[in-house]
Amino acid sequence: MLLQYRPLESISTAGANETTMHELSLALSLLDEIGAAAEREGTTRVASVHLRLGRMSGVMRDALLFAWDLARADTVASNASLVIDDVAVMVWCPRCDGERSVRDGEGLVCLECGAVAPTIVRGRELELVSMEVM
């Protein structure tokens, strides 16, 4: 069974560089959310968890995967895989009047016309998309 969810409002990515254990605390919060959802659904085992992770979320993908492996022991997700869908940064370009990609490491500049595009449309997500239960 696949359960669909909304963005994780209770998990903040603010201050990602201020705490050395940031991804571990995110993994623990994620597991709390998963445990509560599993309890609501009456299941005791989760097979996989699917996240959307924006490139500008402040979360290091590899660190989150490492933290997930540590934190999931003795939980309903103890054998669950963490599947992460990376979300590219998209901005609103005022000159093009539309959503545009940016080039990594070059700031918030429209890839099409080169204009500064300070409004981020996508790329900050940390979203629990779904979990597969057994």
| pLDDT, tens digit (0-9, with 9 covering 90-100), for 83-125 | 999 999 999 999 999 999 998 888 899 999 999 999 999 999 9
Alpha carbons 87 and 125: distance in angstroms, whole number: 7
Q: How many other C-beta atoms are found inside a 10 Å radius of the C-beta of residue 76? A: 21
Which range of residues forms the domain containing residue 26?
A: 2-85+125-133
Q: Is residue 30 part of a domain?
A: yes
Q: Is residue 29 part of a domain?
A: yes
Total structural domains within the chain: 1
| pLDDT, tens digit (0-9, with 9 covering 90-100), for 39-68 | 999 999 999 999 999 999 999 999 999 999
CATH of the domain at 43: 3.30.2320.50
At residue 131, does pLDDT exceed 80? yes
Residue 14 pLDDT level (bands cut at 50, 70, 90): very low
